[in-house]
Structure 1
Amino acid sequence: MSNPQARTYPRNNWYVAATAAEVTDKPLGRQICGERMVFYRAQEGRIAAVEDFCPHRGAPLSLGRVCEGKLVCGYHGLEMGCDGKTIAMPGQRVRGFPAIKSYAVQERYGFIWVWPGEQQLADADLIPVLKWHGDPEWAYGGGLFHIKADYRLMIDNLMDLTHETYVHASSIGQAEIDETPCKTETRGDEEVITSRFMHDIPAPPFWKMALRSNGLADDVNVDRWQICRFTPPSHVMIEVGVAHAGKGGYEADDAHKVYSVVVDFITPETDGSMWYFWGMARKFNPGDAAVTDLIREGQHKIFSEDLEMLELQQRNLADHPERQLLKLNIDAGGVQSRRIIERLVAQEEEAPLRQAAVA
């Protein structure tokens, strides 16, 4: 487990641990915020999560099985309850077995959400609302990457989209992104927003494909927008789209635009690795599964390019920890997002000290 004095992520927050489809009839082991957890479906399919550690011999419970809603260790058959207490073990008395850690966990919007910190503080109402989920006017497709890089590098990457001009030149990048200034707003510790609006420009290849898929001309200039919203601990939602130029831009009627939300749930695995749940929710031509597949394939290619860049960036930073990096205007969204994360971590670390002082 990471050194708690040096950790870079708050624990008392909801993180996406898996997609709902990943947790079926078998347990799923995954490391989240430096802690090894196992996710499984208990009675009636209810999601549960406990420490991936059998109290008998320390075997990973994720290598076991689920039988009648109980998690069974694959080493000696110990049965574990959702609360982390041992239920039974063949031929053994287990009343004195120590409990292992259990986690607050929720299944919502097609994702499994986990709260790595103090269970008593977990409030399901704090899970972000995904308004597009289940709405027939929207369609969603996505995927998952394991990336060997600090999760904050992905937040930096998503809160500054000028890199698209260079990293994604063949799909969504274009010079106008560099040429158009972005605006950054911070709303306390709740949200950071960077926005960029481009007017009367050519559509890049990805958006030409999107226009065609919605029955719109792709050979005319467009107004394009990018609105990146960071919310703690590490979620980034990006409103993106294009409208035929002169039709109202972001506010244009649906008949003249294609509009999507890029979904980014960035979950730290360790200080130097992450789980990256990516996808796109679109509000155009939602019933066409072929379009969903095409967009998913396009996103996979785009995010694969990010993956390579971030992993090599992480390597350079690890090799040169003493180097001070430049901070430019385009970095404002990532800088402000990191400051919120730092404040949340500091608050968690100070809380036990305050409690001790009161006692």
Structure 2
Amino acid sequence: MFARNAWYVAAMPSEVAEGPLGRTICNESMVFYRGREGQVHALEDFCPHRGAPLSLGRVCDGKLVCGYHGLQMGCEGKTVSMPGQRVQGFPAIRSFPAVERYGFIWVWPGEASQADPARIHHLPWADSEEWAYGGGMYHIQCDYRLMIDNLMDLTHETYVHATSIGQKEIDEVPCTTRVQGEEVITSRTMHGIQAPPFWQMALRSNGLPDGQPVDRWQICHFTPPSHVMIEVGVALAGHGGYDAPPEVKASSIVVDFITPESDTSHWYFWGMARNFKAHDTALTATLREGQGKVFAEDQAVLERQQANLLRWPDRKLLMLNIDSGGVQSRKVLDRFIAAERTMAAVG
């Protein structure tokens, strides 16, 4: 169950380079390609001639050319030409609003007339030279909502990520959850602890000692349809924690765009934006590698969790205090989807 009238991250710009990219978003089979001016377009991945996937074709002079019989498609989904044939009367295939912004390609799988680019999730760090970003993408075989649950409950770090970002203090310090409109915020602050391995490395990278006690914070922000931004960091203890001056802390934003593919699979665009040593490309690569390993551990758990839920669909899951972030996020998401369906019924 997912919203359609919303902007989702569909791809990274590097994925849509010379040739077309086929990708399923919200159960819609799409093909992404660049037109003559380099602008990204998205069409239904279906040739109106014989139904071949257009993503198996090529791009020529800004037109998408089917790899089966050479039919050429325009960016609005209308057939332009085909060798030796008269095809102008072919019905148009569906086109999807697509926008390249903040280093991502976004798509709107719902009603095109409602696709306002101003509603794309604002990423102020993406336009600032004081910030650096490194990330990647995983194709995960589970309901996208399980990933939201996972990210809104970081208690699992103690167990799933024991050798990188997990530590026992996460278990010992309760989290708090609040809802502000369509945003759910879950936070946890730990004082006077030892930094786990990942954050020891981050402290060293910022020229700080890695053996001193630190204050650590995790602040998870969920907004529909499926975006989770997590403020994370450590500061040398006694300097104000989250509000400590930059010279005594290492902090960042964990970026999570979770895009449904089907009812039981999704595309997970992950990354980290940081505002220390922003021009150090080697550090960006090191952090990206470390974070990628962390998220690979989540993937292994979530896919096995999905398999269990499919095997025993009638078993009721237990809810604890630590689940409050995920529970509230699902409530917000349910209201978001219900409002969309109500508007569709009225319209």
TM range (shorter): over 0.9
Match of 2:28 among 35, 55, 59: 35
Q: Which residue of 1 aligns with 2:173?
A: 180
Q: Which residue of 2 aligns with 1:162?
A: 155
The 1-side partners of 2:273 and 2:341 are apart by: 36
Residue 110 of structure 1 is aligned with which of 82, 90, 103?
A: 103
Aligned counterpart in structure 2 of residue 80 of structure 1, from 63, 67, 73: 73
Question: 1:124 maps to which residue?
Answer: 117
CA distance in 2, matches of 1:37, 1:237: 26
* Contact persistence 1:165–1:178 (CA under 8 A): yes
Q: Match of 1:340?
A: 332
Q: Which residue of 2 aligns with 1:318?
A: 310
Residues in 2 aligned to 1:322 and 1:254: alpha-carbon distance in whole angstroms = 50
User: How far did residue 264 of structure 1 move?
Assistant: 0.3
Q: CA deviation at 1:136?
A: 2.1
Cross-structure match for 1:47: 40
CA root-mean-square deviation? 0.9
Q: Which runs of 5+ in 2 are unaligned?
A: none
Q: Distance in 2 between matches of 1:211 and 1:345?
A: 42
2:87 aligned partner: 94
**1:111 Cα deviation after fit:** 0.4
Structure 1 segments unaligned to the other structure (5+ residues): 1-7
CA contact (8 A) 1:158 1:236 kept: yes
1:14 aligns with 2:42: no
The aligned counterpart of 2:188 is 196
The structural deviation recorded for 1:223 is 0.4
* Kept in 2: contact 1:260–1:282 (CA 8 A): yes
**What does residue range 229-244 of structure 1 map to in structure 2 within 5 Å?**
229-244=221-236
1:56 aligns with 49
Deviation readout 1:88-112 (Å, 9 max, x if unpaired): 1111111221111100110001100
CA shift at 1:283, angstroms? 1.3
- The normalised TM-score by structure 2 is 0.99
- For residue 347 of structure 1, report the CA deviation from its aligned partner: 2.2
> 2:281 corresponds to which residue?
289
TM-score (norm 1): 0.95
Is 1:349 equivalent to 2:337 in the alignment? no
The answer to whether the 8 A contact 1:21-1:110 is kept is no
Alignment partner of 1:71 out of 49, 60, 64: 64
CA distance in 2, matches of 1:287, 1:199: 30
Q: Partner residue of 1:5?
A: none
Q: Distance in 2 between matches of 1:29 and 1:35?
A: 11
Give the AA of the match of 1:316.
Answer: N
Look up the SS of the partner of 2:158 in the other structure: helix
Residue by residue, what CA displacement relative to the aligned partner does 1:57-88 show, whole Å, maximum 9, x if unpaired?
00000000000000010101111011111111
Counterpart selection for 1:278 from 248, 267, 270: 270
> C-alpha displacement at 1:291, in angstroms?
1.2
The one-character-per-residue Cα deviations of 1:192-233 (angstroms, maximum 9, x if unpaired) are 100111111111111000000110011100000000000110
SS at match of 2:319: coil
Counterpart for residue 298 of structure 1: 290
Show the counterpart of 1:4: none
Structure 2 residue identity aligned to 1:207: W
Looking at structure 2, the residues matched to 315 and 216 of structure 1 have their Cα atoms a distance apart, in angstroms, of: 43
Supply the distance in 1 between the matched residues of 2:145 and 2:252 (Cα, whole angstroms).
24
Task: State the identity %.
Answer: 67
State the partner residue of 1:225. 217
Determine the structure 2 residue equivalent to 1:255: 247
CA drift of 1:137 comes to: 1.6
Equivalent residue of 1:220, what SS? Answer: coil
Q: Distance in 1 between matches of 2:303 and 2:205?
A: 34
Q: Which residue of 1 aligns with 2:323?
A: 331
| Distance verdict in 2 for CA 1:97–1:261, change over 3 Å | same
Q: Is 1:24 paired with 2:24? A: no
Give the distance between the partners of 2:65 and 2:274, measured in 1 at CA.
Answer: 41
Letter in 2 for 1:330: I
1:335-356 CA distance string (max 9 Å, x none): 111112212222222333323x
Give the 5 Å matches for 1:130-145.
130-145=123-138
Matched, 1:264 2:256: yes
Q: Is the 8 A contact 1:226 1:241 kept in 2?
A: yes
With 339-348 and 241-250 compared, the bigger mean Cα shift is at 339-348
The 4+ residue runs of structure 1 with deviation greater than 6 A are none
Q: Distance in 2 between matches of 1:192 and 1:151?
A: 17
* Partners of 1:214 and 1:285 within 8 A in 2: yes
> How far apart in 2 are the matches of 1:353 and 1:80?
32
Between the aligned partners of 1:61 and 1:51, the Cα distance in structure 2 is 8
